[in-house]
Structure 1
Amino acid sequence: MKRNFTTKTLTIAVSLALSNTSVYAEQNTDSGAEEIEKISILGSRVSNRTATESSVPVDIISAKSLTKGGFTELGQSLQATAPSFNFSRTQISDGSDLFRPATLRGLQPDQTLVLINGKRRHNQAIFGLNGTVGAGAAGTDMNAIPVTALKNVQVLRDGAAAQYGSDAIAGVINLSLKDSTDVTSGYFQGGATGEGDGETYSMGLNTGFDIGTDGGFINLSVELRDGEGTNRAQKDIGGSSTTPRGTLSDSVRWGQGNAESEFISTFYNMMIPVNELELYSFGGFSNRTALGNGFFRNYDEAAKNVPQVYADGFLPYIDNEAEDISIALGLRGDIDDDWQLDLSAVYGENKYDFDSKNTINASYAAEYLANNPGASDEEIAANAGPTSGYSGGFRFDQLTFNADVSATVEIGLDEPLHVSFGAEYREENYEIVAGEEASYACGLANSDTSFASVIDPDTFAECGFQAYPGLRPDASGDADRDSYAFYLDLELQLNEKWNLGTAFRYEDFSDAGDDLVGKLSSRYDFTDDFALRGAISTGFRAPSLQQSAYTAYTTNLGAGGVLSPSFTATAGSPFPSALGVDGLELETSKSISLGMVFDINDEVSVTLDGYHIEIEDRITLGSMLSPEDVAFNQAAVDALLATGADQANYFANSVNSTTKGLDLIITYNTDLADGELAVTLAGNINETEIDSVNAPDGIPLSVALDDLQRSFLTDGQPQERATLTFDYSRDKWGAIVRANYYGETDVIYFGNDHIGLPDEISATGSFKDTSVVESAVLVDINFDYQLNKHFTLAAGINNLFDKTPDELGENEALDFITNQAFKYPVRALPYGFDGMSYYARVNFSF
């Protein structure tokens, strides 16, 4: 039986071409070296197409490369090795302490499709909220995947919705699981930051076993991580019961840093021969927790604090927990010498829960005092309600069925026509789970009545827990949908120099409509060393259930730096409907790419790829709107007031945009001083422009898309990224030096254009309009030494020169509203603010 289908999957119909310079060199695993020009499962359906023969760029990053920088999170590893990939840091943003937005080519997290072994991976149940990169986009949680389980990662840098369907506008990331047997490998690693905090310990173990004697196997992985938090906050001048405002606090009371976290994950990958077919399965489980925090609540904040419980104020914590389960089952094989079949089913589920700690519902004490005006401080404290509890959660699951057929058909030319076609059916479910009553209630009786604060009778006490008010029962609920798709992919080698491919896909969503998209790709080899490649495609992305069905009450920073109860309205509900938005539609795209592959000599290779992506009807999560913002529309004012929140926002197809850029990769491989040196320069330049705003009749452009949203879409991610890597090995020694360049980001969030503080209260007489994270070069070094055939020692320093963003000054709005507690910006941070870190690692293999 021919087994030339090699993990071909039904959703893979990309007519692409892998340049040898786009392939990150080492393709070795713990079980030994692989062929450099390995056929990628993310690529052409042609089973004999090698990594140097196709038509759009893909990076293949080996597992060895992913771990050489000392990163144990997949997202960090990819950011350090693939400049088109961005993994922004953020803090105090309701959930982003646990997941981080993973983006490709400067687009949104949900505009990149993630696969495992070529099969669609489910998205996360939650998304970043307003004021973050990727706000409103429920992408794939990259950090839920253990690096230990991976053989390599393939990054397709081209629009691929015609092959894969919804989400593949920016590209596709495929995670290939290990399939090695008779080898047990793993690592132990420990590290910390240069400040002495953030201690992190992790371990991974991978092993495999043969099943039978005909190539069957099972590969198993487990990974554990335990990380202490970091804190870059400073002493503040917010005052306390014993210290007047303006006086520096005795200790650091705010929190600005990475959350304390824990991670456990197990994955498997297996195949069993069944007669002339292969039965395969893979999947895994992961659980992660992260203890994030909100803003510090000052002792005298009447609406938020109960001084009988927290005499000097308090820092509320948000205990995040994410759980992922996935399983795939399939049957594949050769029908005959020319036809192959692949049938599969994949189920994935993500749960995300919030517990609030060190918090309070100020309305409980306020109601008690209203009913017992002579109550003592001890009695008020005893009746102030719980200081911790469950604030609610989100659930998302996805079941996908695929049928895939591929064949070679003789048509009278020197090369046959390669044909692939198939179908996909998908079911999705989304649920919002309410928190416990104390997390959202207005007083113990949970009535519609507001109660005067225990601090100031002229101020109403806020309802619900501080930092993350609980999800109310009227916001809970569930939604579901299904979709089906058909595709056709054709590829032909017209002659020895010219390859041509095309693909078409029709997909229909029960809640969002249907679309027919296509792609034409080609490559022409002028010589053995020089080729041009390119593609033209149309694409689409269906609004996710997380976008169309989401609703929640949160706390957000409003005008004047005041934390305000906020509400996100469901698509089609009264508030957005009053503003002309009755639901969400498909995003559509047009993409053009053109590139060249040039092997200058045996040592130097260059690829350069340009791209132009136009997206219409992009879905955005709007900024919070107050009754004053929508005063021109009384129906909208009434709908907002009916929510009980001070401000509200909603999703809409608000933007038409164009993203264009260049990807450059130069590799140099040579022998040096009895060793081997590999030098790689990889860079990306991209720019996103807003072409037009889809404002309904009578709705101002500033309401449909305000400047805050614009800033995150166009300037929230670096427009320039590059890595320069020197990888040298000699005998048992190895060393890597990598310089990472991050371009500047500049967003309105936490700048005075967002906060709107009076300039006269600034110590300098004015506040900066925006929040800027300056461009930076971070240098990482890594050394390893092979003790023997079983053990390798490694150690390294990341961010060797301790580069951090410029510290906040007295003219920064964030410095003012945090009472000088925050040292650095907290939004649009591509390289974080922890500074230098170091690690030591022991790798083993038996």
Structure 2
Amino acid sequence: MTTLRLNTLAIAVGLAFSASSVIAEEAQVQAEKNIEQISVLGSRVSNRTVTESSSPIDLIDADTLNKGGFTELGQSLQATAPSFNFSRTQVSDGSDLFRPATLRGLQPDQTLVLVNGKRRHNQSIFGLVGTVGAGAAGTDMNAIPLSALKGVEVLRDGAAAQYGSDAIAGVINLSLNDSTGITTGYFQAGSTGEGDGDTISLGLNRGFDLGDQGGFINVSAEYRDADGTNRAERDTGGSAAVSAGTLSDTVRWGQGNSESEFTSLFYNMSLPLDDAELYSFGGYSERTALGNGFYRNFDAASKNVTQVYSDGFLPRIYNEAQDISLALGIKGDINTDWGYDVSAVYGENQYDFTSRNTLNASYAAEYVLNNPNATDADIAANSGPNGGYSGGFRFDQTTVNADINGIIDIGRSEPIYLSFGAEYRKENYQIVPGDEASYACGLANQNIVYPSANDPSTSAECGFQAYNGLRPEASNSQSRNSHALYVNAETMITDAWNISTALRYEDFSDAGDDIIGKLASRYELNDDFAVRGAISSGFRAPSLQQSAYTAFTTNLGDGGVLEQSFIAKAGSDLPVALGVESLELESSKNVSFGFVYDVSSELSLTVDFYHTAIKDRITLGNFMKAEDLAFSPAAVAALNATGADQAAYFSNSVDSTTKGVDVILSYRTDLYDGDFSATFAGNINRTYIDKVNAPTGVPKEIALDDTQRSFLTNGQPGERGTLTFDYERDAMSAMVRFNYFGETDVKYFGNDHIGLPDFLSPTGEFKDTSVVESAVLVDINFGYELSESLTFNLGIDNVFDVTPDELGKDEALDFITNGAFKYPVRALPYGFDGMTYYAKVSFSF
């Protein structure tokens, strides 16, 4: 097939990732070497050669991803692409394994992730109320090993018209390694400045030729083992032998990263046939993490049984995630001008939870009620298990694509480049119930409330502490399918003006259909300066994880009390009573405009402004009690029927607008017989709530309360920036990177959420919100090539040991943890582990 000549093609339309030579350091390197960037990932136009793009793209190669001490893909992307956020969350179910990956301050499920240009499946679980990305099941970035990647492309523009649902904020494409004939690998060990969190990581990659026509198979394996960290302090909760208010002898709470383990195996393969190419890729990964809940005080009679835990206990949650993916496709030529690509991709993700060091307080309560003269030994012996399986989630997705692309000669110097195709997708979602002891009310499990074994005036709670088991009545299995048709056209109007369009129709069996489109253009004013922009509409279908989810959980209620909570399934009695019968499509409109300026052969600048308006945005509501629902007797009855203290539900509750700007400035020169580069990349964004969509008769604060609002507008940094200096000379290399994170300010765990009376505060007043201050983290790395096949690196991340400000006595979180928590635990863009250091040996042969 003849090579398609696409000078200054528009990437954002045509379903392609163009490689701009001016928006990222890696692209600048290639431009200086006079090597054209070729991108076929996700494109409907094959053999696409591009030197410039109409949409902003970050190009990050494997060397950059691995430059530093980060062993997780999400952390590495956060350090190199400022529009990408990877917030930390503590003491939230599942957060020990996954973190919300977001672009431009939107939700995790509003960014589409591709692997080798093909849609990747989402994770089966999401963050719950009081977290960044609550209710949004995005892609689990940490399931993909760094050693398997050749590079990453981040398209920072609305792209639903090209790629379909989920691409409102942009697209991240992960390119798998395709090298052959060389074995590469590394071994890395590190720790924190506090002396905990010891981590070892090792990876191995090898590519093999298949035949003599360019076929290959590349295989990657990676293993990681990390000890946990703990920044909690001694507390004043008291024990059987020590009165409350006295500092404990040891640290009993847990606040830090979990003890974890990661194993993965990925492959990438291509095999030329007579007139076509057979390709396949995929992988398997397994991760485990042992997390913590809140410490249960010895005198918390509803939660503890002192005959089992005389001084209280710290419940643990063992998280296990498995991820499988497999892609198979064939592409080739129809004739000299037209080609095809047919593929099928399967992905599966599952999360399982096992409770440890816990109990079901209702077991002992029932026994004591039936045996009032029981001894302490008898009560302990009949208190049920101290752990067990608490339930899990399953999600799988099959995507089939058929694409045709080629050119139409219209009698001009430039033809029309046309691509069109169809997509079919099938998704399945399942909730797996836990062991009976994880959720039961007493050994007989008769849904009876029993007086506590230690305080008859208090009712014992049902189910395991920390992770209340998934009940059979909450178990669920649901499926759906979707199909789509799309067409893309682009051409050069003049030698300096490119224009491209996209149109897509997509229909979901459970949420309806929509037609969306995009128009993008780029115009060169001269050889050094060009303007670019795009207008697009988009949509996102509610995920099965949102429409089919239902579960009982334990959450923090008023006054810092842990309460049984219920999330109602879409279409069930509670949301229907409040006027929400189903979840609808989110719709979006995106406008972007920017310029590319080659100031000199050494200095380049790109600036891109964006405006994204989303209607009917899906949110997971805050928990409501009977008094909050008093305006609706039907809703109160639905809540009471669940047996929970409070309940929440999903709805299309919000219309929002996100505005921002991305700036990238890149400089490269020769310095003292070496190569020096400096790259600044920054993002500023703001999200505004335009409208709260409350059904008639439902107060707006029920549809969207202040806590939810704070996470949507202030839960992620409004400003992000990185400034990286690199220098290489002979066998030596050095890097210094400055990472700036703007402030976050949310109501969860602030007194606006907990509602403590101010007289309890030692200062006379509790702070209203939970703030994580802005900060600059500095990373340094030194490398030396010991030989052609062996390199040694030594580095420190966060060299100045920056952490959020410690909690004061006027913080509600300090009060409810009895002084145990040292830092905030939600909306943490840079964590609280402080300085980490590492040594790394890389090899190739």
TM-score normalised to structure 2 length: 0.98
SS of 1:843's equivalent in the other structure is strand
C-alpha deviation, 1:413, in angstroms:
1.2
Instruction: Quote the Cα distance in structure 2 between the aligned partners of 1:12 and 1:383.
Output: 65
Residues 775-794 of structure 1 deviation map (CA, whole Å, 9 limit, x = unaligned): 00000000100111100000
**Unpaired runs of 5+ in structure 2?**
none
Query: C-alpha distance in 1, partners of 2:310/2:142?
Result: 39
Q: Residue type matched to 1:622 in 2?
A: G
Report the AA paired with residue 165 of structure 1: G
Aligned partner of 1:766 in structure 2 is 765
Match of 2:118? 119
Q: Distance in 2 between matches of 1:163 and 1:493?
A: 19
Q: How far apart, CA to CA, are the structure 1 residues paired with 2:730 and 2:241? A: 65
| 1:14 alignment counterpart | 15
Residue 22 of structure 1 and its aligned partner are, at CA, apart by 1.6
Q: Is the 8 A contact 2:42 2:118 kept in 1?
A: no
> Which residue in the other structure is 1:658 paired with?
657
In the alignment, what sits opposite 1:249? Answer: 248
For 1:636-675, list aligned pairs within 5 A.
636-675=635-674
1:367–1:11 Cα change, 3 Å = farther
Q: Which residue matches 1:832?
A: 831
Contact 1:368 1:383 in 2 (8 A): yes
User: Which residue of the partner structure matches residue 483 of structure 1?
Assistant: 482
How do 1:141-160 residues align onto structure 2 when only pairs under 5 Å count?
A: 141-160=140-159
Corresponding residue of 1:92:
91
Residue pair 1:665, 1:680 contacting (<8 A) in 2 also: yes
Alpha-carbon displacement from aligned partner over 1:426-450 (angstroms, at most 9, x marks no partner): 0000000000000000000001211
Kept after mapping to 2: 8 A contact 1:26/1:65 = no
1:548–1:424 CA distance, 2 compared to 1 (3 A): same
Do the aligned partners of 2:168 and 2:539 also contact (CA within 8 Å) in 1?
yes
1:750 and 2:752 aligned: no
- Contact 1:677-1:728 at 8 Å conserved across structures: yes
The residue number in structure 1 matching 2:589 is: 590
- Distance in 1 (alpha carbons) for counterparts of 2:456 and 2:185: 62
| Equivalence for 2:810 | 811
Residue equivalent to 2:551: 552
Which residue type is aligned with residue 181 of structure 1? T
CA shift in 2, pair 1:35/1:41, >3 Å: farther
2:12/2:159 contact within 8 Å kept: no
Deviation at 1:47, TM superposition (A): 4.7
* CA distance 1:51–1:195, shift in 2 (3 Å): farther
Distance 2:482 2:124 in 1: 19
Structure 1 residues 2, 411: closer, same or farther in 2, change over 3 A? closer
Structure 1 residue 24 displacement after superposition: 3.2
**Residue 273 (structure 1) shift:** 1.3
Match of 2:81 in 1: 82
1:408 matched to 2:423? The reply is no
Q: Matches of 1:560 and 1:166 in 2, distance apart? A: 41
8 Å Cα contact 1:18-1:56 kept in structure 2: no
Change (3 A) 1:533 1:437: same
Which digits, 9 at most, give the CA deviation of each residue in 1:748-802, with x for residues without a partner?
0000000000111111111000000000000000010011110000010000000
Distance 1:95 1:544, change over 3 A: same
Answer yes or no: is the 8 Å Cα contact 2:388–2:437 preserved in 1.
yes
Question: More deviation in 91-100 or 48-57?
Answer: 48-57
**Does structure 2 retain, via aligned residues, the 8 Å contact 1:15–1:521?**
no
Distance 2:160 2:485 in 1: 12
Displacement of 1:15 after TM fit?
Answer: 6.7
Give the counterpart letter for 2:409 in structure 1. E
Letter in 1 for 2:319: N
| Alpha-carbon shift at residue 337 of structure 1 (Å) | 1.1
Q: What is residue 599 of structure 2 aligned with on the other side?
A: 600
What CA distance in whole angstroms lies between the structure 1 residues aligned with 2:628 and 2:40? Answer: 51
Name the structure 2 match of 1:25: 26
Counterpart residue identity of residue 590, structure 2: S
Per-residue CA deviations over 1:96-137 (Å, capped at 9, x if unaligned) read 110000000000000000000000000000000111000000
| Unmatched segments (≥5 aa) in structure 1 | none
Pairwise CA distance, 1:174: 0.3
1:16·1:521 contact (CA, 8 Å) conserved in 2?
no
For residue 800 of structure 1, what is the aligned residue in structure 2? 799
Q: Which amino acid aligns with 1:802?
A: D
Distance, in Å, in 2 between the alignment partners of 1:770 and 1:573 is 33
Contact 2:617 2:655 in 1 (8 A): yes
Distance 1:34 1:481, change over 3 A: farther
Give yes or no for contact 2:13–2:501 (8 Å, CA) kept in 1. Answer: no
What is the rounded CA distance, in whole Å, between the counterparts of 2:597 and 2:29 in structure 1? 25
Q: How does 1:310-709 map to 2 (within 5 A)?
A: 310-709=309-708
Counterpart CA distance in 2 for 1:5 and 1:299 is 73
Paired with 2:534 and 2:181, the residues of 1 have a C-alpha distance of 42
Distance, in Å, in 2 between the alignment partners of 1:578 and 1:132 is 26
- Distance 1:334-1:28 versus aligned 2 partners, 3 A rule: farther
Identity of aligned pairs, percent? 69
Q: Is the 8 A contact 2:726 2:733 kept in 1?
A: yes
Q: 1:5 to 1:480 in 2, by over 3 A?
A: farther
**Cα 1:232–1:51, aligned 2, differ >3 Å: closer, same or farther?**
farther
**Deviation, structure 1 residue 50:** 4.4
* Residue in 2 that maps onto 1:178: 177
Shift of 1:21: 2.2
Give the Cα separation in 2 of the matches to 1:2 and 1:306: 76
Aligned to 2:723: 724
Partners of 1:283 and 1:384 lie apart in 2 by 46
- What is the Cα deviation at residue 567 of structure 1? 0.3
What amino acid is the match of 2:552? Y
Task: Please tell me whether the aligned partners of residues 3 and 334 of structure 1 are also in contact (alpha carbons under 8 angstroms).
Answer: no
SS at match of 1:25: helix
* Cα offsets for 1:796-821 (capped at 9, x unmatched): 00000000000000000000000000
3-state SS of paired residue (2:787)? coil
| Correspondence 1:775-786 to 2 at 5 A | 775-786=774-785
Q: Distance in 1 between matches of 2:762 and 2:400?
A: 62
How far is 1:40 from its partner? 2.7
Cα distance in 2, alignment partners of residues 126 and 11 from structure 1: 30
SS in 1 for 2:38: coil
Q: How far did 1:69 drift?
A: 1.2
Which sits farther off after the overlay, 12-21 or 236-245?
Answer: 12-21
- For 1:46 and 1:732, the matched residues in 2 are separated by 41
Assess if the C-alpha contact under 8 Å between 2:228 and 2:257 holds in 1: yes
| CA-based RMSD | 1.7
CA contact (8 A) 1:620 1:652 kept: yes
CA contact (8 A) 1:200 1:228 kept: yes
Secondary structure at the aligned position of 2:298 is classed as coil
Deviation of residue 38 (structure 1)?
A: 1.8
> For 2:647 and 2:477, how far apart are their aligned partners in 1?
21
**Does the aligned pair in 1 maintain the 2:19–2:27 contact within 8 Å?**
no
TM-score by length of 1: 0.98
Given residue 305 of structure 2, which amino acid in structure 1 is its aligned partner? V
Residue 275 of structure 1, CA deviation: 1.3
Distance 1:353 1:23 in 2: 39
1:161 paired residue number? 160
Equivalent pairs counted in the alignment come to: 841
Match in the other structure for 2:203: 204
Quick one: distance in 2 between partners of 1:483 and 1:92? 36
Mapped contact 1:28–1:64 kept (Cα < 8 A):
no
Give the match for residue 109 of structure 1: 108
CA deviations on 1:177-213 (whole Å, 9 max, x unpaired) are 0111101001000000000000000000000100011
Conserved 8 A contact 2:759-2:765: yes
Note closer, same or farther for the CA distance 1:105–1:407 as it changes in structure 2 (3 Å cut).
Answer: same
Q: Distance in 1 between matches of 2:152 and 2:16?
A: 19
Report the alpha carbon displacement of residue 53 of structure 1 after superposing the two structures with TM. 2.1
Q: What SS does the corresponding residue of 2:54 show, helix, strand or coil? A: coil
Q: Deviations along 1:234-293, whole A, 9 cap, x unmatched?
A: 000000011100000000000000000000000000011121100000000000001011
